[in-house]
Amino acid sequence: MSSPLTRAIVIAVSLLVLTTGAGAQQQAVRPPIAQLWIDVATNSFTVPGAPAMFGSGGQNQFGNTRFGVGRYVDIALLVRTRPQGVQATEAIPAALRLGPTLPLDPVRAEPSGPGQRDPAAAEAPKGRLIFYWGCSAEVRSGQPRVVDFSRGTPQEWATVWQGRYAPEAGARALPGHSIWPNERDRRMLPEGASLVGDHTVTGDGVPAGMRFPLGPSQDLMPVIDLTAQGDLAASIPLRWRQLPTARAYFINAFGGKENDFIIWSSSDVPDAGMGLMDFLSNANIERWTNEKVLLPAATTQCAVPKGIFAGAEGAFVRMIAYGNELILVHPPRPANPQTTWEQEWTVRARAKSMVTTVLMGR
């Protein structure tokens, strides 16, 4: 008869085998046949005392969600079984006011540009980068951090410039992707356009039934009503109205004084935020809000420390409100881990609102 110790050892070994073998087996996952990205942006430029400026005329182009001034949507489709791209169509809700459908056209390969200029031939810049951070009326202890443009070491630059950023995971105009807007359709979004409603994507190789709804959390966000006016030699109050669908905010300001470039960020820890002025995932928003890099959604005011832009030749403030990210996968993950998850299509939709304003004294 085996002893109690022997039986305990046998049970422990059996449990170990179960948890490292079949019991811990990961579910097999097949990548989606079709992937759709929808980036939604409200980008505005304001001057104190004047209404927000928008690019309401002219022709739309892909990438305006990042660089344009106005309300924009970038859509990109990738069909795994059609690496050269496909002609596809997205049926859209009437609320978007662009008719019943949008054409998604394959990206054309761009010819390679001229060779890169030899960095050694460039003249070393003169001046300094001066970095401040935190919402406060006075400059905090231990600030600023200063880096000489011509003599700064990689370690010194890392303490200022190397901050948080999220690898690109949205709509991109890459070979093999089918996009809107495109050369065939460059229409601007009409005033009052909304993405709320059902969307359906069809095209060669696109799985049947690629239909999904977008709700208010994925719609175009309002303009950020930012007030940033005061004595440049004093602390400058920043105030705004809370946006209903914003999950967090981030602000930075920059200006020049002789050969110095001055930058400030609203982060409570030293992060200039150069990688944060873009779409962020819900997970990163939550993580970086907890780390006090982003301002919580309930925040409605901040302050630029006293005197950091005194005598500046020009100064600007940029602010971003991060909206919600939606990720849909069809069909849903099977409950049985031994069943392969045969993904047919995925949708990733995300939204943001940004404003740039001139920092002006009274």
Tell me the per-residue pLDDT of 4-13, one tens digit each, with 9 for 90 and over.
555 554 444 4
Per mean pLDDT, which range of 87-101, 155-169, 223-237 is the poorest?
Answer: 155-169
Helix (H, G, I), strand (E, B) or coil at 302: strand
Q: Are 289 and 250 in contact (CB under 8 A)?
A: no
- Judged against a pLDDT cut of 70, whether residue 262 lies above it is answered with yes
Q: What is the DSSP string of 305-335?
A: PTTTTTT-SEEEEEEEEEEEEEEEEESPPPS
Q: Are 347 and 326 in contact (CB under 8 A)?
A: yes
Domain spans in the chain, listed from the N-terminal domain onward: 29-109+124-358
pLDDT at 23: 47
Q: Are 110 and 210 in contact (CB under 8 A)?
A: no
Beta bridge partners of 133: 265
Q: How many angstroms separate the CA atoms of 194 and 58, rounded? A: 20
7-30 burial code (b ≥16 CB/10 A, e <16): eeeeeeeeeeeeeeeeeeeeeeee
Q: How many angstroms separate the CA atoms of 85 and 137, rounded? A: 53
pLDDT at 120: 46
- Judged against a pLDDT cut of 90, whether residue 333 lies above it is answered with yes
* Pair of tokens at residue 302: 């901040």
Confidence at 158, pLDDT banded by 50, 70, 90 = confident
Helix (H, G, I), strand (E, B) or coil at 31: coil
Q: How many angstroms separate the CA atoms of 8 and 108, rounded? A: 66
Confidence at 109, pLDDT banded by 50, 70, 90 = confident
Q: What is the pTM of this model?
A: 0.86
Q: For residue 150, give the amino acid letter.
A: S
Length of the chain: 362
Residue in the structure block whose two tokens are 């305990």: 8
